[in-house]
Amino acid sequence: MKPSSIYRVIVGALLLAAACGPVTLHLLAARHAKTKVLGLNKVIAFGYTPNNKDFSPKQLHSVTLIGPADDWKYWQSRGVVAGWGHTWFDLLRSPIDKAVENLTGQDFGGNPHPVVMIDEFGFDFGGLMDQKSAQVLRQAKLKRPDLALAVWEMRGPIPPVLAEAYRDAADLVMFESYVHDRQQYWYIAGQVWSARRYGILPKTIVVLGIGKGGPGEVWAQSKEELEEQIRFVRMIAPESPGIGFYSGTPELVTAADALSAHFFHYPTNGAGLPQDVRKLAKTFSQRYAKPTLVVSPSFVEPNLLEDGRGLVQPPTMRAYLINLGDEDARDVKVRLRNPPNKGDNVFAEGVVPLIPKRGETIGVLPVTGRWNVWVGQWIVEVEAPGCDVITYKPELPSK
């Protein structure tokens, strides 16, 4: 959807509210559901599904977007969009003009409406890698407007530089929302919050991880867990055009296929979900009179060189900080600390001058020592007088 179209939808909704009274989220969801993404009325995406003697993606029934896949004629005959895959390596490790050529000059097998699925963007919360990603995306769309750009977004909430590029140049955004249980649903809620803030939720889907990923990565393990996650997504993102799934065993992929057929029939009010899950969803949607900050070790990344081959010098950490409150937060002190069993020392700290009301800021924290743990395993400490602070901890890999 073009930015002007998004603005017309929003303005239309506001005018309707003024004329007829409050417009509920459910009515807005109904309006957004009519917006086509990649020419589809709904997006049910399956990415990197099993394709072997035990299972073929051609067994899927609910799918409308498949990728990566090059047999686009077969999928077109079924009304399914097939996307070509393209990894980030030759995009961010090449000069901008060469990166754009690499992306737009692929052989799409004669497909008159090609879709490329970029795997993946979202590295350093608005640092040099994200800035270059945004430039590549914008220039690729300018060079080849007919090429639909679908982007896998991998790092929690979307930083402004990428959110604005997605708004202007991406045709679809796919959140990597790979969580195991409801203790980690806050991660999905933070992602959705950022997409809604920048007006791109109507062309954004949450992609759930099913089965297992790399070492220590455990995602939805049963049909019941999958259904709860799907219901949660439907509750917090009714404007979204659909949902997606990544990986999985044949049994779990089959379950995801069956469940996704009912995606738009699941209630948007959270009916059927446990009370604690509904309460979590409200955390990101209710109003707060005072500044209310959301922070997490998962929302912090080192500032990387644009090719990802090293750190910007002098080194800094970039922390994504959300303010859900109706007042600005000012002069917030943020520190990163190694865990007690890894030194217990502060290794990065800084003062964030302003986190605007109902907004976000990327805090830049100069590194003052050595960090001894992997990204996300450190401790975030916040001093914010007059503010409430909500800290979410990631699910650490099992040993």
What does the pLDDT profile of the chain (399 residues) look like in tens digits?
433 344 334 333 433 333 333 334 444 444 444 579 999 999 999 999 999 999 999 999 999 999 998 899 999 999 999 999 999 999 999 999 999 999 999 999 999 999 999 999 999 999 999 999 999 999 999 999 999 999 999 988 999 999 999 999 999 999 999 999 999 999 999 999 999 999 999 999 999 999 988 888 899 999 999 999 999 999 999 999 999 999 999 999 999 999 999 999 999 999 999 999 999 999 999 999 999 999 999 999 999 999 999 999 999 999 999 999 999 999 999 999 999 999 999 999 999 999 999 999 999 999 999 999 998 999 999 999 999 999 999 875 443
Alpha-carbon gap, residue 144 to 298, rounded angstroms: 35
Give bridge partners of residue 357 from the DSSP assignment. none
Alpha-carbon gap, residue 320 to 188, rounded angstroms: 15
| pTM confidence score | 0.90
Report long-range pairs for 280-287 (Cβ below 8 Å, ≥24 apart): 280/182, 280/185, 280/186, 280/189, 281/185, 281/189, 281/232, 281/235, 281/236, 283/186, 283/189, 283/324, 283/390, 284/189, 284/190, 284/192, 284/193, 284/236, 284/324, 285/236, 286/324, 287/326
Alpha-carbon gap, residue 153 to 362, rounded angstroms: 17
**pLDDT value for 395:** 72
The two tokens of residue 101 are: 């050529």
Would you call the peptide bond into 314 cis, given omega within 30 degrees of 0 as the criterion? Answer: yes
CATH class of 3-283: alpha beta
Alpha-carbon gap, residue 357 to 354, rounded angstroms: 9
**pLDDT value for 215:** 83
CATH class of 292-391: mainly beta
Which residue, 106, 113, 100, is CA-closest to 140? 100
Side-chain-side CA neighbours of residue 144 (13 Å):
19
Domain ranges of the chain: 3-283, 292-391
Alpha-carbon gap, residue 276 to 185, rounded angstroms: 11
